[in-house]
Amino acid sequence: MSVSALGLRMLRNLVCWMMVALTPVALLAVDVGAMLHGEGPVWLNGKTLSNASAVFPGDLIETNPESLATLDATGSSIVVFPSSLVKYAENAVSLQHGVLSVGTSQNMTAQAGTVTVTSVSNKWTEYELTDINGTIEVVARKAT
């Protein structure tokens, strides 16, 4: 083996080991979305939620009249009440119909129709958003 081939092999090995060391760190920095938990029949993208599932931007969460869903994201918790349909987005939820409750310290935004609700600071804030038959109601529960 020539000196240049040996040097190239050593460089290639060094780069491979650096990638092995750095890849897990890079994966930790990726936000995978949120975790969805259901009580009673809950649907995620039209399929029955069996236990818990990761939720990603664009996913649809639906509850029936006897069910409740909890969505846990970094710094935020969203409760989807019975008979509701919600679309998840990055640091936001869009209420298609029904009721949801948001608790957040990360400025989680909630939208229903043309109404958008967001906290004004990174302090813990709680609010409820309702969209029943096109009538939208916002109730602030805790704003610090």
Query: CB–CB of 69/81 below 8 Å?
Result: no
Q: Which residues touch 86 (CB under 8 Å, ≥6 apart)?
A: 60, 61, 62, 71, 78, 80, 93, 94, 95, 96, 98, 100
Summarised one tens digit per residue, pLDDT across range 123-141 is 899 999 999 999 999 998 8
Phi-psi region of 103 (alpha: psi -120 to 50; beta: other; left: phi over 0): beta
Nearest CA to 37 out of 46, 27, 50 is that of: 50
Contact 102, 76 (CB under 8 A): yes
pTM attached to this predicted model: 0.77
CATH topology of domain 34-143: Jelly Rolls (2.60.120)
Boundaries of every domain in the chain: 1-30, 34-143
pLDDT of 42-101, one tens digit each? 999 999 998 899 999 999 999 999 999 999 998 999 999 999 999 999 889 999 999 999
